[in-house]
Structure 1
Amino acid sequence: MEQQKPQVDPYSKYNAQSSMLSKIIFTSRWLQLPIYLGLIVVQGIYAYKFLKSLWHLIINVNTMDSETIMLAVLNLIDVVMIANLLVMVTLGGYEIFVSKLKTRNHPDQPEWMSHVNATVLKVKLSMSIISISSIHLLQTFVNAARIPEKTIMWELFLHFGFLVSAIALAYTDKILYSTSHKNH
């Protein structure tokens, strides 16, 4: 009886290389970890800046006029909004692109984390950027007498650009969402 030779799959070497390449690409997402850790450090910097500005407001409140107090408060709100943006990018980005956070059913888990995806994150980021830009515009208008007209104009154009971008993102997501639901 003649023994049959096992057949050699001509694609086995290709499949092994492809599998290894897939593993490398998949694992490369962890290269973002230092970036997200860096954003946590930046949050600490903003917390320090907030406390320093708050302390300055507290110890100087009796010597400040209403306009100066309002500008100080707007500055504090600006710092808070940027810190919120950092939290959204850090938590949402890590959860979407790196690995799942093990926070399910945790009593402190932010509500938005239960349904975070790239679309939700884009919308939240767009709204945060527009809100931060609005605070800057408000600060500019309070100081309008001391700011060149050209600077005010450019800030308005920039804010308008943020608005148009957010609308374009929302419209694109709407088209993609409706197209994907028609196909399923």
Structure 2
Amino acid sequence: MLKKIERGFESGLFASRWLLAPFYVGLIASIAILLVVFVRVFLAMIPYTVTMSVEDAILKVLTLLDIALAANLILVVILAGYESFVSKIDTEGHEDRPAWMGTTSFSGLKLKLYASIVAISGIQLLKSFMAIGERPLTDRELFWMTVIHFAFVITALLSALTDWLSSRQGKKSVP
């Protein structure tokens, strides 16, 4: 009787992973929202293409790149998270299946997230530095943006170091 209750409870726990599916649907919708913003920013650039300065063109392209990186980050979270926590995605043999799908561990996903966050933060910082003189950013604001960016970089490096040390420790304990 106890074994039957335990098995039922464990089945319920295992089935609860599907509660994550609506989160992934919401993240898919957020990629669609980013697409709308990307198209809006891109279309707004077109009338000024001939007259815009190199700096303005770079800032606009960096904005588009920022949006694309954010969308990539969301997609990685959706695919890796769904495969890790909900269900395997049956795309075996599909020519467009990303090589990392199905092989990315939680540690690998975490590092991909950190790398994307550092890249996005770096682009924001570069845009701010390039816009000096065009919009009023104080030295204090630039200082804190730089500190925050370096906090992301240090966090990513420490996380990678921790994962590397953990993997080395695991190899040492194998007989």
Q: TM-score, normalised by structure 1?
A: 0.88
Q: Percent identity?
A: 35
Larger of the two Rg values belongs to structure = 1
1:158 matched to which residue of 2? 148
Aligned length: 172
**Unpaired segments of 5 or more residues in structure 1?**
1-12
1:183 matched to which residue of 2? 173
2:124 matched to which residue of 1? 136
Q: In 2, Cα distance between the equivalents of 1:46 and 1:27?
A: 31
Q: In 2, Cα distance between the equivalents of 1:178 and 1:31?
A: 35
Residues 112-151 of structure 1: pairs in structure 2 closer than 5 A:
112-145=100-133, 146-151=136-141
What is the RMSD of the two structures over their aligned residues, measured on CA atoms? Answer: 1.3
Q: In 2, Cα distance between the equivalents of 1:16 and 1:114?
A: 33
1:63-90: CA deviation from partner (whole Å, max 9, x where unpaired)? 3222211111110010010011011001
Q: In 1, Cα distance between the equivalents of 2:66 and 2:57?
A: 14
Residue pair 2:80, 2:102 contacting (<8 A) in 1 also? no
Q: In 2, Cα distance between the equivalents of 1:24 and 1:114?
A: 25
Q: Secondary structure at the match of 1:62?
A: coil
User: Which has the higher mean CA deviation after the structures are superposed, 108-117 or 98-107?
Assistant: 108-117
Q: In 2, Cα distance between the equivalents of 1:69 and 1:18?
A: 62
1:10 matched to which residue of 2? none
Q: In 1, Cα distance between the equivalents of 2:117 and 2:19?
A: 26
1:106 matched to which residue of 2? 94
Residues 60-75 of structure 1: pairs in structure 2 closer than 5 A:
60-75=48-63
Runs of 4+ residues deviating >3 angstroms: none
1:111 Cα offset (Å): 2.0
* Mapped pair 1:52 → 2:79: no
1:106-158: CA deviation from partner (whole Å, max 9, x where unpaired)? 11111221522211111111111100001000001012232111111111111
Q: Which amino acid aligns with 2:81?
A: G
1:41 matched to which residue of 2? 29
